[in-house]
Amino acid sequence: MEFKLFLFWVVSLILVGAAVGVITTRNPVQAALFLVLAFFNSAIIWMLMEAEFLSITLVLVYVGAVMVLFLFVVMMLDINLSPLREGFTRYLPLGGLVAALIVGEIVLLISNKWFSAENFPVPAARPADYSNTEELGVAMYTDYLLQFEIAAVILLVAIIAAIALTMRRRPDTKYQRPAEQVQVRKEDRLRIVSMDSGNQESQ
Amino acid sequence: MLCAICAILLCDLYSKDGRRLTYILSQVALVGTLFFTWGVTPDGSATAFGGSFVMDTMSSVLKSWILIVSIGVLLYSRDYVLEREITTGEYYTLALSGVLGMMIMVSSSTMLTLYLGLELLSLSLYAMAALNRKDVRCAEAAMKYFVLGALASGLLLYGISMIYGATGSLVFSEIAAAMAADSSSSAAVFGLAFVVAGIAFKFGAAPFHMWVPDVYDGAPTSVTLYISAAPKMAAFALAIRFLVDGLGTAHDSWQGMLVILALLSIVLGNLIAIAQVSIKRMLAYSTISHVGFILLGVLSGQAEGYSASMFYAITYALTSMAAFGVILVMDRNGVDIHLLTDLRGLFRRNPVYAFVMLIVMVSMAGVPPTVGFYAKFVVLDAVVSVGLIWLAVVAVVFSVVGAFYYLRVIKYMFFDDPIEAQPVLAPIDVSAGLAVNGAALLMLGLFPGWIMAACIAAFS
């Protein structure tokens, strides 16, 4: 137990540090890499909470697929972020004040009473043959079937929207039409002009 | 019912080539769903999908009206969409999925389903607002809508997570039970504040109204028509499900918040609308003030108030549909009308539309023979009955202020000379739809009984 607690603190510290790094670093590639670090550490925390399936999914899907895509985009687009940061120091005092106020109010309101350790005791450890994945599957496809399906419809709408917004006919681009290329005939491209060779001499 | 819509959505996807066909299919889908909704209405209330989907009187009444309004919306916007070469198939698909989202919202009984339905609706709306890519203002409006909408969804989610943390449940009835057992939970009230902010954004109520004028003005008119009509009823359902079904015992906490929202909406909406020269912006600010009235009914915290504001939401959707329908008809010749002065002399160009617009404006101002009067009356009655007389007085004063800009539109239409003499023409079905719509506003004002009875039945 002690070791787990120690591990939790170390991993959480790295997680918070990485999260701060994401928003403070100037280089977008570094920011993306910090985000990878943050995801990885939260995966470890989930692993400590015995949520193996979720933590592996987090690493596979987010670190493995999403972040790699994200890095590609960042590197290819070469966005210059400096104009976005211009107002940062100017708005920092006001923004900081508002943020501090809100945090203060939240802390005052929710004090420790509601989310303290007594209200939410540590769940007992599951036996070794307990299957996380199976439980998730049961919950998702029986209790929350409707929600699951609505989420699927939302993704469908997102696909339709993305395609509708980006697909356009651009007549000015020079692309090949293979079907027409194959069907082309000699007469379409080549014009045989019969020249009278005797004419030149007579001039 | 859900499956039916999904299947038709898919059919719709594959039949993109025939634009007419898509339109007809969408309408058939809506009508079919409407009959299905009537067909499967249970006597009391029934739940499905492990208690996450509920069918009661309120949901079936609201669903029917959402479907009827959507049918009208698609009818009015058909020619506009064809003419502007907006990607038609996608337009109808997105519109239908938005309707699906609204229906899910209306009959959801857990916070999760409600949120998912809301996202489905919002995502469709963002995409529809952006569909006209050639217009820069349209892209700007869609971007603003998307960013602010995402922020509001975040607020709502944060509130939901707080409530879940405080009560330990996603189901509204269980939340209500937990709140009744321990109503002093400050964490739940804290979550409630975020939820109210999210709802206010989705409604477009005053401190969270910044997106409304820009989106109404920038989006294609047909999309504005869509946004202004049915989603208001869905937002009403959102408020009722959250505040009444879930957090009804915390009524004291949210009544104050809603008083501020309603007051600001009515005051700001009516005052700023006076200064507008663009008709769509003017209608946007008038929407904000009407939303204030809908919230007035909700904040009374009584069954009469809820049914009154439900009546208000339904009739407002009908009114706004007719208003934007007339604007759409006038948009025909490839140029959108922007300014109020473009309505000048509509009476000489087409008396029928001028009369429809007249009824709409009179109804929005709340003058007796029309439905707007009765709707305002029942809402104010509910507010007075809980002792908030000063609030009712303010609302009445500012709706009188608002009458100024509605009457100005009428003056432009009937007493000014038209700039162009060309008559405004529209296909016969659109004209018939508009005429029926206008007549309905008048008839409902004279005989509001049957809708009102349905609204009262929904909360008894």
- Going residue by residue through chain B (460 aa), what tens digit of pLDDT does each one get? 555 555 555 555 555 445 556 666 666 666 766 666 666 655 556 666 666 677 777 777 888 888 888 888 888 877 777 776 666 667 777 888 888 888 888 888 888 888 988 998 898 888 888 877 777 778 888 888 888 889 889 989 988 888 887 777 788 878 888 777 765 666 777 788 888 888 888 888 878 888 888 888 888 888 888 888 888 888 888 888 888 877 777 777 788 888 888 888 888 888 888 888 888 888 888 888 888 888 888 888 788 888 888 888 888 888 888 888 888 877 766 566 677 777 777 777 777 888 888 888 888 888 777 788 888 888 888 888 887 788 888 888 888 888 888 888 888 888 877 776 666 667 777 778 788 888 887 787 777 777 777 777 777 6
Chain A: nearest CA to B72, how far in angstroms? 22
Q: What is the distance between the alpha carbons of residues A75 and A92, in angstroms, rounded to a whole number? A: 29
What are the beta bridge partners of residue B53? B48, B108
Of all residues in chain A, the one with the smallest CA distance to B96 is A157
Q: Is A145 on the interface with B (CB under 8 A)?
A: yes
Q: Say if residues B158 and B196 touch (Cβ distance below 8 Å).
A: no
Chain B: nearest CA to A199, how far in angstroms? 57
Give me the pLDDT at residue A15, please.
Answer: 93
Give me the pLDDT at residue B38, please.
Answer: 66
Q: Quick one: pLDDT band at residue A38, thresholds 50, 70, 90?
A: very high
Cα–Cα separations (whole angstroms), residue B226 to B155, B365, B419: 25, 22, 29
The CATH architecture that domain A1-80 belongs to is Up-down Bundle (1.20)
Query: Which residue would you say has higher pLDDT here, A94 or A125?
Result: A94
Give me the pLDDT at residue B16, please.
Answer: 47
Of all residues in chain B, the one with the smallest CA distance to A139 is B50
CA A17 remoteness from chain centre: 20
Give me the pLDDT at residue A127, please.
Answer: 74
| Residues in B lying within 8 Å of A, measured between beta carbons | 2, 6, 9, 13, 48-50, 52-53, 87, 90, 93-94, 97, 100, 104, 110, 112-113, 116-117, 119-120, 123-124, 126-127, 130-131, 133, 165-166, 185-187, 189-190
Q: What is the distance between the alpha carbons of residues B87 and B78, in angstroms, rounded to a whole number? A: 12
Q: Quick one: pLDDT band at residue A41, thresholds 50, 70, 90?
A: very high
Q: Quick one: pLDDT band at residue A12, thresholds 50, 70, 90?
A: very high
CA nearest B113: which of A62, A85, A150?
Answer: A150
Residue found under tokens 């993704």 = A155
Q: Is A144 on the interface with B (CB under 8 A)?
A: yes
Residue ranges of domains in chain A: 1-80, 91-121, 130-162
Res A13 pLDDT > 90:
yes
Give me the pLDDT at residue B280, please.
Answer: 84
Q: What is the distance between the alpha carbons of residues A32 and A46, in angstroms, rounded to a whole number? A: 21
Chain B: nearest CA to A203, how far in angstroms? 60
Give me the pLDDT at residue B372, please.
Answer: 82
Dihedrals phi, psi of B46, to nearest 5 degrees: -130, 150
Q: Say if residues B108 and A144 touch (Cβ distance below 8 Å).
A: no
Residue-wise DSSP of B168-201: S-SBHHHHHHHHHH-TT-HHHHHHHHHHHHHHHH
Q: Is A88 on the interface with B (CB under 8 A)?
A: no
Q: Quick one: pLDDT band at residue A14, thresholds 50, 70, 90?
A: very high
Q: Say if residues B326 and B356 touch (Cβ distance below 8 Å).
A: yes
B127–A115: do the CB atoms touch at under 8 Å? Answer: no
Chain A residues touching B87 at Cβ < 8 A: 164
Q: HSE (CB half, 13 Å, CA atoms) of A102? A: 8
ipTM over 0.90: no
Res A18 pLDDT > 70:
yes
- Locate all alpha helices (DSSP H) within B182-332, ordered by sequence: 186-203, 211-218, 221-228, 230-239, 251-274, 279-299, 303-330
Chain A: nearest CA to B370, how far in angstroms? 39
Q: Which two three-digit tokens encode residue A24?
A: 């403070």
The reported pTM is: 0.81
B112–A144: do the CB atoms touch at under 8 Å? Answer: yes
Name the residue facing A109 among B2, B6, B186 (closest C-beta): B186
Count of other CB atoms within 10 angstroms of residue B170: 22
B50–A146: do the CB atoms touch at under 8 Å? Answer: yes
Give me the pLDDT at residue A112, please.
Answer: 56
CA nearest B362: which of B413, B328, B397, B293?
Answer: B413
Q: Say if residues A156 and B100 touch (Cβ distance below 8 Å).
A: no
Chain A residues touching B52 at Cβ < 8 A: 144, 146-147
Radius of gyration of chain A (CA): 31
Residues 6 or more apart whose CB falls under 8 angstroms from that of A144 comprise: B50, B52, B112
